[in-house]
Structure 1
Amino acid sequence: MKKAHLFMLLISPIMLLTACQSSQTNSTTTSKASTSSSSTKIETDTSGLLGSYSESDLDDSYDESSATSIALSDNVKISGEGASTDGKVVTITKGGTYIIEGELSNGQLIVNVDKTEKVHLVLNNTTIKNDNGPAILVEQTDKAIITLAKDSKNTVSDGNDYNLSEGETEPDAAIFSKDDLTINGEGSLNVEANYSNGIRSKDDLTLISGNYTINAKNNALKGKDSVSIKDGTYHLTTKEGDGIQANNSTEEDKGFIVIDNGDFTIDSGRDGIQAETALSIQQATFTIKTGGGYNTKQFDTNESYKGLKASKITLLSGSYTLDTLDDAIHSNDSLTIKNGDYTLDTGDDGIHADNSLTIDNGNITINHSYEGIESSVIKLNGGNLLITASDDGINAGGSSEDDGTGQFGADSFGKGGTPPGQADDSKSLEITGGTITVNASGDGLDSNGSITMSGGTVLVYGPTDGGNGALDYDGTFNLTGGTLITTGTSDMAMNVSDDSTQASVGIYFNTTQSANTLYSLTNNEGKSLVTFKSKKEFQHLLISSPDLTNSETYTLLTGGTTAEKDENGLYQSGTKTNGQILSTIKFDGTNILNVDQDGNTVQGGIGMSGGMGGPR
């Protein structure tokens, strides 16, 4: 997939063309009484928006006195110029504004004007049903603008067979446009797309406002060059396609989707939102289910059922509730999360990027996943992350070819793990801030290269079975700041690297320690530096804190009670317990210490900075 460069330059304003020119008509044309202007103008301040919206896109006003009126029925009546009828087919041949009302059964509205002209269609309680093709077909125009009149209820639908000539695949949508298409207004639009797509533009598709309910066999909203959404309410249901799609793969500045606001409920047979190049979102609210949800058992592994999918993804803000059979958020290149609230349930990866993934802020909860967060390069700078994974919690690299993979197989960059003792310099995990809690059945933090941590709080509930560890890195783990607590098995346990400047202690226990029990590390004065309640049983414990020094003796207490409230098992520093002494730990001037339960210094196995295969 080519790299995308999403241009955010605003299109120069284009005034809406409303003058209707003369046209011949096969039906009776009557004169129309003059009426006052109607509708209101949408807010035109485009500062801070991701999308480029022209003045004509934002203008949902129209002048009834100069517009052509089309009254749909078994006997269509046209008042004004620029339109004609042939039975139940209404054709618009001149640029201008057309107010359309009434119901047309097994008919069609066609727009075919000069390429330099714009057409403004006002749907005012309009119903168009066509059993053999699109309800609205835009053959040619500079731009078609559909306004949903205030408080109006409009419906378009097609049949399940278009009777196209052999070799033809288009048109293929209930509303189909060969040129730019914009929809605005304060009404509602219901689309029943039985043949294929709901609303499709072969150029740019722009949605400004309105309330949409679309049931489509294939894609609900599709723009070849782009889809730009400023606001609105969307209920999108698809059987075999995506909720929203932009699919131009031949021009790197096209094939993008931008969403500035709106409320989206998407239940899709394939991807929720899929952009060929770039996907950028802010402010909007999403509830997305793909492929029947994360727990679906029968599906086609050759298909894609991702929640958000693009080459490049930028999420500035918004609320996301994603229940996806495949990855919840998937980038084929780079992914940046600036802020927002995320609740993810997925049958594969929670958040995945092939090349780089950056999280600056936000509240991210991954309730179900195969791997929680995965990319070649991961940077975690802030936010509150709560990750549950049946395999690795956070993985910088790819899973081993010998290991089990998610239900959709290994991702494109994951050609297998790094051979023992060989680090992959292209893989890295960097933690500078945030609060990160990982509950993983595989490795908690895994990097085929290096790990660095300079700030934040990381709490890892690692595996309870052998073969994986709370930490797993092939290069180095350089720790210079923050609080790190990990629990897991002892056979694959690792500490941080010896050149870390912050003190860290790894403790190997004689017996398995119980879950849901208080553990507190106190200094000589009895002050608690770290208090936590593990969600899982463990045989190895790692603790590092800025308050830990390499020249003091500490006591690890177990059991007891506290009146304080925990955050995912971690209590505030200084929390007191009345537990029993489990271990006494004496630092001897070295920053990195590994001891057994009795406080005796031990040496780990492979890579000793931590150890694999238990203490020696």
Structure 2
Amino acid sequence: MKKMKFGLTMVMIVLIPLVGCKKETSNTLKATSESTEQILAVKTAKKTEENKYGDYNNDDFVETYDETTATKITLKDAGSTIDGSGVSEKNNTISITAGGTYILTGNYKGQIKINANNETVHLVLKDVSISNDSASAIYVEQAKKVITTLAEGSKNSLSDGTDYVFASADQTEPDATFFSKDDLTINGTGTLEIIGNYSNGIRSKDDLIITNGTINVTAKNNALKGKDSISIAEGIFSLKTVEGDGMQANNSTDVNKGWIAIDGGTFTIQSGNDGIQAETNLSIAKADINIQTAKGYDDQSIDTTASYKGLKASGNIIIDDGSFDLNTADDSIHANAAVTINDGTFSLASVDDGIHANTDLLINKGKINVNHSYEGLEGSTVTINDGDISVQSTDDGINAANGSSGESGQDGQFGADSFGGPNEGGKPGAGGDSTKFIEIHGGTVYVNADGDGIDSNGDVRMTAGTLIVNGPTDNGNGALDYDGTFSMEGGVFAASGSSGMAMSVSDSSSQPALSLYFDESNKAGTLINLKNSSGKTILSFAPAKEFSHVTISSPDLKVGETVTLSTGGQDTGTEKNGLYSNSNYSKGTELAKITIEDTLTSVDQSGAKVNGSQMGGGPGGQPPR
């Protein structure tokens, strides 16, 4: 991906000889010209350097124009007024046939058509309203590039009809209100409103670049579509579609194309299908994005063979920062390869997965709330290094498993993920799959799952941070489910749920853990308190749902120490996710004094030992009663 980023020194060197060649009769005029160009150079260089992922040229940011040299077009249905060269009008079509700057004002029922060979056209929209019932309002047939500037303070609108008239029956393009066969840039501080009654709102068959502006698109199909790529540096966007995507890059024949890069901007997207879809990679440096697909996570009327994802890529997704509110009738964030989240605030509600990666899901930081999901976080591997994460799921909370997303040409369709729970999706046998794992190295992770809380087809490893799991109340799932080992090496861990499929950490762990089996289910909110021999609280935890099994691990739990187990009572400490810090526990019922004899100690509520640490005495077993 090319990035033309010019330092200030280079820009100034280029500008000085150009200014020196001007034939100005006034030194004042010359100085003013130099000052203006130097300011523009500073602004352009700064803007270009601030953009991380998009592919921009310096002229993409140039919003200024010279009215004295530009061709001016005053649009009128009865006959437009043209002041300048390179343009003509015939049969309700304004034809621009040469490179240069064209300033458009007025109302027009017809088409602006650009055919400028390999020249760059700078189109300035200055309070323009263009409608065309049978074709695109603006059609770029050929140009090196078209830069469209929304003049400061201007309000511009483009619309088309529901049926296009083509020269032949096999012709299908143009198919957008603003359609370009070549590179298209939009900038400026004005407003552009587009109604796409026929199909797409804005479409470029090469690169679509937007560096500024307020852009409102309502379209039958896709709101913004760039075949080779979409780069967005800044702007305010409202994108609504009936059938298609809010934003789409669709080149599937070149692995270096078909990507979307968002370096800034505010986006409100209500889409009939996907919110933002990239055929290859989706990269977001920072943005405020609000997406609803279909009718959101509680939509029961959708076609389950279609795709309604929030952020979607057939390649990788990387998010560095921003605010994301995604209410989706499919996965909220979905990549057919890897997902990397470096920071940001996320509020996700999904019919299916909160965040799904076919390969690696990596979370380095961020505040992530999966408020509703089938499965919360899912990948072949899931690694959490930091962050504040909360997951609500009707099946597994965090899942590491085998998975793919359907046949070629159907990547990422709803319902196509082959990740499976027990007895599904290629679940491995005892011993697990070493290529699948869940690792937690920091942060705070809270899971409330109706299925398995933490489910790995391979291993689980925790070295730091806090992990709270409220698992299922039925005996068909467990708070933990893994096929390899669970290596507990550091951090605070508390998991509660039913006892029928209960698992604890592996006895090969380096940090001690206590596995507690209760004689009967305890009510949701019942406190569990562990104190050391000095009477200091090791852990005080109130599960959110009824429970009959709890696993606890803490750096304060020591082999050889005797701890006191109590339930009920109250704690006036600071509560988060059911876990109390600065604990002040009182009025509970003491159940047992338990000696931590090994890395894993499994006992019933009276303190009596029970055999085995995992289901069935093998990988994952429930100790016998």
User: Considering the TM-score relative to the shorter chain, is it more than 0.5?
Assistant: yes
- Quick one: distance in 1 between partners of 2:416 and 2:80? 58
SS at match of 2:343: coil
Q: 1:49 maps to what in 2? A: 51
Displacement of 1:611 in angstroms is 4.9
Offset from partner CA, 1:61-87 (integer Å, 9 cap, x none):
000000000000121110011100003
Q: Does 1:592 align with 2:600?
A: yes
Displacement of 1:257 in angstroms is 0.5
SS at match of 1:57: helix
Q: 1:55 to 1:373 in 2, by over 3 A?
A: same
Displacement of 1:576 in angstroms is 2.8
- Quick one: distance in 2 between partners of 1:470 and 1:410? 26
Q: 1:409 maps to what in 2? A: 415
Q: Does 1:80 align with 2:84?
A: yes
Which aligned pairs between 1:36-185 and structure 2 lie closer than 5 A? 43-45=44-46, 46-50=48-52, 51-74=54-77, 75-105=79-109, 107-115=110-118, 117-164=119-166, 165-185=168-188
- Quick one: distance in 1 between partners of 2:413 and 2:256? 33
Q: 1:246 maps to what in 2? A: 249
2:530 to 512, 521, 524: 521
Displacement of 1:614 in angstroms is 4.5
**C-alpha contact (below 8 Å) 1:399/1:410 kept by paired residues:** no
**C-alpha contact (below 8 Å) 2:309/2:334 kept by paired residues:** yes
Which aligned pairs between 1:213-252 and structure 2 lie closer than 5 A? 213-252=216-255
Q: Partner letter of residue 376 of structure 1? A: S
- Quick one: distance in 1 between partners of 2:413 and 2:558? 45
Displacement of 1:578 in angstroms is 3.0
Q: 1:347 to 1:53 in 2, by over 3 A?
A: same
1:309 to 288, 308, 312: 312
Displacement of 1:315 in angstroms is 0.3
SS at match of 1:345: strand
More RCO (CA 8 Å, sep 6+): 1
**C-alpha contact (below 8 Å) 1:487/1:541 kept by paired residues:** yes
Q: Does 1:423 align with 2:432?
A: yes
- Quick one: distance in 2 between partners of 1:8 and 1:463? 50
Larger % of helix: which? 2
1:9 to 3, 6, 27: 3
Q: 1:571 maps to what in 2? A: 580
Identity across aligned pairs (percent)?
A: 50
- Quick one: distance in 2 between partners of 1:212 and 1:577? 59
Q: 1:280 maps to what in 2? A: 283
Displacement of 1:11 in angstroms is 6.4
Q: Partner letter of residue 316 of structure 1? A: D
Which aligned pairs between 1:427-506 and structure 2 lie closer than 5 A? 427-506=436-515
- Quick one: distance in 1 between partners of 2:530 and 2:202? 61
Displacement of 1:191 in angstroms is 0.1
Displacement of 1:48 in angstroms is 4.0
Q: 1:549 maps to what in 2? A: 558
- Quick one: distance in 2 between partners of 1:575 and 1:172? 67
Q: 1:356 to 1:611 in 2, by over 3 A?
A: closer
Offset from partner CA, 1:378-397 (integer Å, 9 cap, x none):
11111000000000000000
Offset from partner CA, 1:409-452 (integer Å, 9 cap, x none):
35145561424424112211111111000000000000011111
Q: Partner letter of residue 58 of structure 2? A: E
1:200 to 199, 203, 207: 203
Q: 5+ residue gaps in structure 2?
A: 16-31, 405-411
Displacement of 1:491 in angstroms is 1.0
**C-alpha contact (below 8 Å) 1:423/1:448 kept by paired residues:** yes
Offset from partner CA, 1:94-137 (integer Å, 9 cap, x none):
100000000002x000010121x100000000000000010000
**C-alpha contact (below 8 Å) 2:176/2:200 kept by paired residues:** yes
**C-alpha contact (below 8 Å) 1:496/1:609 kept by paired residues:** no
Q: 1:49 to 1:221 in 2, by over 3 A?
A: same
Offset from partner CA, 1:177-226 (integer Å, 9 cap, x none):
00000000010000000000000000000001000110000000000000
Q: 5+ residue gaps in structure 1?
A: 1-6, 17-35, 401-405
Q: Tell me the TM-score normalized by structure 1.
A: 0.91
**C-alpha contact (below 8 Å) 2:571/2:580 kept by paired residues:** no
- Quick one: distance in 1 between partners of 2:568 and 2:525? 9
Offset from partner CA, 1:221-246 (integer Å, 9 cap, x none):
00000000000000000011000100
**C-alpha contact (below 8 Å) 1:497/1:609 kept by paired residues:** no
**C-alpha contact (below 8 Å) 1:531/1:573 kept by paired residues:** no
**C-alpha contact (below 8 Å) 1:418/1:424 kept by paired residues:** no
Q: 1:466 to 1:8 in 2, by over 3 A?
A: farther
SS at match of 1:455: strand
**C-alpha contact (below 8 Å) 1:348/1:407 kept by paired residues:** no
Alignment RMSD (CA, Å): 2.2
1:372 to 353, 372, 376: 376
Q: 1:352 to 1:108 in 2, by over 3 A?
A: same
- Quick one: distance in 2 between partners of 1:407 and 1:230? 29
Displacement of 1:157 in angstroms is 0.3
Q: Partner letter of residue 259 of structure 2? A: F
Offset from partner CA, 1:494-519 (integer Å, 9 cap, x none):
11111101000100000111111222
**C-alpha contact (below 8 Å) 1:508/1:596 kept by paired residues:** yes
**C-alpha contact (below 8 Å) 1:158/1:192 kept by paired residues:** yes
- Quick one: distance in 1 between partners of 2:278 and 2:416? 22
